A = this chain, B = another copy of it.
Amino acid sequence: MVKYESDELGRTFQALADPTRRAILARLETEPALSVSALAEPFPMQLNAVMKHLDVLSDAGLVARHKSGRTVSVTLTPQPMEAAMAWLQRYERFWTASLDRLAAFVETPPEA
């Protein structure tokens, strides 16, 4: 279980897997620069916990923190999502054009 590799895409998906983190990103979509405490305020958890989520998000490159004075403002840097979208896009054909073909595969014997 070494996980020494960089695996950018993995960190992106991992970061997106938590509902709290998705909520943080969703808030930053409409309010483009929020302080850490403003971000944490709506959540039913301690500031520490939100900090850890922010650590995961910035390790994944999805947000950036900028200290100005004693407040730290968090901004969206969603470029890593582009790679995630691109990865998913390879499967798009399965739920658009050839859904019936997929259904056929599902019923196909294993040696086909």
Contacts and interface: CB of A to CB of B under 8 A. Distances in A.
A95 B75 contact: no
A95 B78 contact: yes
A88 B84 contact: yes
Given A17-B17, A95-B81, A95-B82, A22 B9 contact: yes
A79 B103 CA distance: 12
Interface residues of A, number: 49
Given A13-B13, A91-B78, A95-B82, A105 B33 contact: yes
Contacts of A75: 102, 105-106, 108
Interface of A: 5, 7, 9-11, 13-14, 16-19, 22, 25-26, 29, 32-35, 64, 66, 68, 71-73, 75-79, 81-82, 84-85, 87-92, 94-95, 102, 105-106, 108-110, 112
